[in-house]
Amino acid sequence: MANSQTATAEALATSKGALPNRNLSLIGLFGSENNMQALVRYASGRIETVKTGERLSLGRIIAIDQNGLLIERRGEVGRLPILTN
C-alpha cells in the first residue's frame, strides 16, 4: 500500500497538464548513492525507471546523482535536472 506522499506524487505525475510540456521529464530519484535510479516521464505520459548505461531519446545516461541525470549525446554531456516548480 502506498503512503499518501507517494500517492500524491503518482497522481500529479500522471495528471494531464501537471508537468511542463516537454519530451522528457525527470520526476524522481531513488536508491543508494552508488546505485541510483530515476523515474522519467515521457511526453506520452508513460513513466519508466532508468539507470546508468541506458539510452533515452536525449542520449545515453552516464551517471545519476542527487541533482539529476548526466546524459551524453554526440560526444557532449548535459544534465537533465529533477523537475521542480
State the pLDDT at residue 19: 45
State the pLDDT at residue 33: 86
β-bridge partners, 73 = 76
pLDDT values of the chain reduced to their tens digit, one per residue, 85 residues = 455 555 555 565 555 554 454 688 899 999 998 899 999 998 888 999 999 999 998 899 999 999 999 999 999 999 999 877 5
State the pLDDT at residue 43: 84
State the pLDDT at residue 40: 94
Compute the distance between CA of residue 8 and CA of residue 1 in angstroms, rounded to an integer: 13
List Cα–Cα distances, 77 to 26, 30, 39, 55, 63, in angstroms: 16, 22, 20, 13, 10
